[in-house]
Amino acid sequence: MNNLSDAASSIVTLVGFKLAEQPADAEHPYGHARFEYLSGLVASAMIVIIGFELAKTSVEKILSPVPVAFSAPLAAVLVLSIAVKL
């Protein structure tokens, strides 16, 4: 989820930059630079919402713990993820 949220906020930022670089036109005589601010606002809102959801889930897990299911395929995925990040 963390990587997906990072990718989504990066996409929002890139789209914002692309829209912001458009030149001025009749409807926007000062250009489209405000799209940078709007994309930053959307990306930060996404991060805040995801942080809130993670905190809420963490508190729920602390108050109602469940046993962690650990298996060989899960361990393989974790090791592969660590190797890719390195």
Q: pLDDT tens for residues 31-68?
A: 788 888 889 899 899 889 988 998 999 999 999 998 88
pLDDT digits (tens, 9 = 90+) for 14-41: 998 888 888 888 887 777 888 888 898 9
What's the pTM value of the predicted model, to 2 decimals? 0.65
What does the buried/exposed string (b/e) look like for 15-53 if buried means 16 or more CB atoms within 10 Å of the residue's CB?
ebeeebeeeeeeeeeeebeebeeebeebbeeeeeebeee
Task: Yes or no: say if 31 and 24 are a contact pair by the CB < 8 Å rule.
Answer: yes
Say how far apart CA 9 and CA 51 lie, in whole Å.
13
| pLDDT for residue 80 | 94
Helices and strands per DSSP (H, E), number in the chain: 3, 0
What total number of domains does the chain contain?
A: 1
Domain that holds residue 80: 2-85
